[in-house]
Amino acid sequence: MFYQFKEFTPVAHESSFIHPQAAVTGNVIIGKDVYIGPGAAIRGDWGGVIIEDGCNVQENCVIHMFPGVTVLLKKSAHIGHGAIIHVATIGKNCLIGMNAVIMDNVELGDECIVGALSFIKADEKFLSRSLIVGNPAKKIKEVTDEMIAWKTEGTKLYQSLPAEMMQYWHPCEPLREPPAEQPKKMFMKNIFLSVLLFIFLSCHNTKAMFTNHMEQYGKTEQLPDSVLHMLQRTNELVLAFAVETNAWVKATNYKLLAMNNNQWKGYTYNINNTTHVSSGLKPMEVSDDSCNAAWKFFQSWEVWKIKGDNGGNFCTGDKKNNCNINDGATWRLLLLTKEKVIDLSYYEPEYYENCCPGNVERELFLQAVNKIKDIVEKKDGSEM
- The residues spanned by each domain of the chain are 2-142, 226-378
Which segments of the chain have a pLDDT < 70?
A: 182-213, 247, 317-321, 379-384
Instruction: Report which residue type is found at 33.
Output: D
pLDDT at 294: 92
Between 2.40.50.140, 3.40.440.10, 2.160.10.10, 3.40.50.150, what CATH number should domain 2-142 receive? 2.160.10.10
Q: What was the pLDDT predicted at 275?
A: 82
Closest CA to 201 of 337, 340, 95: 95
Question: How far is residue 90's CA from residue 100's CA, in Å, rounded to a whole number?
Answer: 13
Residue 69 has what pLDDT? Answer: 95
According to CATH, the topology of domain 226-378 is Mago nashi protein (3.30.1560)
DSSP code, position 325: -
- Residues 36 and 17: beta-carbon distance below 8 Å: yes
- Give the pLDDT of residue 198: 54
Residue 221: predicted pLDDT:
75
The total of other beta-carbon atoms located within 10 Å of residue 119's CB is 17
Contact 285, 380 (CB under 8 A): yes
Quick check: 14 and 166 in contact, CB under 8 A? no
383: which residues sit within 8 A by CB, 6+ positions away? none
The confidence score (pLDDT) of residue 197 equals 55
CA dist 120 and 331 (Å) reads 38
pLDDT tens for 330-372 read: 999 999 998 899 999 999 999 888 888 888 899 999 999 999 9
Beta bridge partners of 40: none
DSSP secondary structure code for residue 258 in this structure: E
Angle between helices 145-168 and 188-215 (to 10 degrees): 130
3-state secondary structure 182-240: CCCCCCHHHHHHHHHHHHHHHHHHHHHHHHHHHHCCCECCCCCCHHHHHHHHHCCEEEE
- pLDDT, residue 380, reads 41
> Regarding beta strands 341-347 and 329-336, do their DSSP bridges make them parallel or antiparallel, or are they unpaired?
antiparallel
